[in-house]
Amino acid sequence: MTTGPAGILPIQYSPYRYAIGMLAVAAHFSIGVSLFSVSPILLEIISDYGIGRGTAGFLVSLPLLVAALIGLPGGVITVKLGVRASYAIGWWMVGVAALSVVAPNFPALLGVRLLYGLGTALLLVATGPLLMRWFKPREILVMNGLNTAVLSLGIAVSVGSGAYLSSLAGWQATLGLYGLVGVLGAGLWSVLGREGRGETEVVTGISFSEIRDALKSRAVLLLLAADAGVLVQYTALSGWLPTYYTEVRGMVPEVAGFITGLLPFVGVFAVLLGAFLPLRFGPPRAYLIIPGLMVVPGGLGAFLLGYDSVVYLSLIVLGIGSWLYVPTLLSTTMTLAEGDSRKVAVVWGSLLTCSGACMFISPIMVGVLQAQAGSFLPGFLVCVAASSALLAAGVFLPQHTQR
């Protein structure tokens, strides 16, 4: 048992934390499996609903936009409602994706995706205080890695299997099946979920001045910029490289999609390394600096270099750099919060808002610049420049935050 900050009950490292950990991992898988589930079956949705491609794109981008808008408010909501209630509400909203099977028209399906985005934001934000209440500091690093890895795995599963399942059962049944994962998880949480440390305290919320203090430090601002910068590049390249490889490099679409698919596939392993390596090797700062040195050349090589073998290598380097830093960044935010789960909720909400907004904007920016310049290069280069914020964060992050 470890004593927490003044005013907070002693931390009870109960064996039940392993059950909580498995539920948290399941929550992130249920988010991932529905996040881009519509991507491989968009043409079928367009055909059935008689909508345009631009309109259909909202099915992909709307959850990201909603999550960005709800990020910081979601942190305040989590503080007010408590972790257990926030997790339950968020998970049931994610499970609403199961209703895709009965969506009669496009507005109804868009509404389902909107609710899914709200639930995603609430779940992701509530995870920070949940881990802080239940796990030891070294375990939190591992849990951050596992959660991120299974989220990436969920994306890979749905994107990889969506077209095949749709050919067997139809696209609505396929989306409903992915959403059912969220329903089952939400049901388990409703029975097994617990608040954790401090559950007997009266929830008092958090004041505006406390929110301002949690977000104004240089370290937090550097981490916000680092995560947003990496995701600007990662999202834009993930969205546009298949088209770039097909139209500019002359690849067949299947090969272009497979090559780009290296990014999330490599990410599953990279984020696990990011969770376990800092426990034994090097200072935490190194796990911001090293990925920061990888994302820029990896991004440039993905579209500037002409040899296919070099492109493969560049995407692997980019994939590693884009995921390796995540456990360290998330755990550092907890260090900055000094044991206050309310501040963690606010900072994680801010991460979601900043990064989610950048993920929504960056593919649009690349498309607009491509239309104006007749080339993907201007937009891609802007995104590469943004990713350098990760290296800057590793170099300039105050030393006292790294422990």
- Residue 318 belongs to domain spanning: 207-403
Residue 320 lies in a domain: yes
Share of the chain above pLDDT 70, in %: 89
Tokens of 207: 């004041």
Number of domains the chain contains: 2
| 184 and 250 both lie in a single domain | no
Adjacent-strand bridge partners of 61 = none
* 3-class state of residue 65 by DSSP: helix
**Between 401 and 286, residue with greater pLDDT:** 286
Give tens-digit pLDDT for 248-261. Answer: 888 876 677 678 77
For 295-323, what is the mean pLDDT?
A: 90
* 3-class state of residue 108 by DSSP: helix
Last residue of a domain, one of 164, 187, 205: 205
> Looking at the chain, how many residues does it have?
403
Q: For residue 183, how many C-alpha atoms fall within 13 Å in the half-sphere facing its CB?
A: 11
| 260 and 168 both lie in a single domain | no
| 388 and 276 both lie in a single domain | yes
The pLDDT of residue 253: 64
The pLDDT of residue 181: 95
The pLDDT of residue 258: 75
Residue 1 lies in a domain: no
Whether residue 41 contacts residue 165, with contact meaning beta carbons closer than 8 Å, is answered with no
Tokens of 331: 């755990």
| 27 and 88 both lie in a single domain | yes
Residue 157 lies in a domain: yes
| 368 and 401 both lie in a single domain | yes
Last residue of a domain, one of 205, 232, 265: 205
* 3-class state of residue 35 by DSSP: helix
Average pLDDT along the chain: 83
CA pair distance 74, 89, nearest whole angstrom: 11
Q: Band of the pLDDT at 9, cuts 50, 70, 90? A: very low
Q: Band of the pLDDT at 295, cuts 50, 70, 90? A: very high
Q: Band of the pLDDT at 7, cuts 50, 70, 90? A: very low
Q: Band of the pLDDT at 211, cuts 50, 70, 90? A: low
Q: For residue 232, how many C-alpha atoms fall within 13 Å in the half-sphere facing its CB?
A: 25
| 54 and 95 both lie in a single domain | yes
| 159 and 270 both lie in a single domain | no
The pLDDT of residue 3: 46
Residue 179 lies in a domain: yes
Burial 270-301 (b: 16+ CB within 10 A, else e): bbbbbbebbeeeeebbebbbbbbbbbbbbbbb
Concatenated DSSP letters of 200-235: TSPP----HHHHHHHH-SHHHHHHHHHHHHHHHHHH
The Cα-based distances of 238 to 60, 67, 156, 190, 288 in angstroms read 13, 19, 13, 35, 22
Report the range of poorest mean pLDDT among 53-62, 231-240, 275-284, 367-376.
53-62
The continuous run of DSSP H or E covering 288 comes out as helix 286-304
pTM: 0.76
Burial class (CB in 10 A: 0-12, 13-18, 19+), 122: buried
Give tens-digit pLDDT for 74-89. Answer: 777 887 888 899 999 9
Give tens-digit pLDDT for 366-384. Answer: 888 887 888 889 999 999 9
| 252 and 326 both lie in a single domain | yes
Last residue of a domain, one of 178, 205, 232: 205
Give tens-digit pLDDT for 116-128. Answer: 999 998 998 888 8
Q: Is pLDDT above 90 for 28?
A: yes
Q: Is pLDDT above 80 for 189?
A: yes
Q: Is pLDDT above 90 for 35?
A: no
> Cα-flanking dihedrals φ and ψ of residue 2, to 5°?
-120, 140
| 308 and 188 both lie in a single domain | no
Residue 2 lies in a domain: no
CATH number of the domain enclosing 51:
1.20.1250.20
Residue with the two structure tokens 């080339």: 375
The Cα-based distances of 173 to 98, 101, 178, 224, 367 in angstroms read 9, 5, 9, 38, 32
| 256 and 300 both lie in a single domain | yes
| 200 and 261 both lie in a single domain | no
Report the range of poorest mean pLDDT among 56-60, 135-139, 184-188, 252-256.
252-256
| 194 and 240 both lie in a single domain | no
Concatenated DSSP letters of 337-362: HTT-HHHHHHHHHHHHHHHHHHHHHH
Helices 341-373 and 326-337, axial angle in degrees (round to 10): 140
Q: Band of the pLDDT at 53, cuts 50, 70, 90? A: low
Q: Band of the pLDDT at 101, cuts 50, 70, 90? A: very high
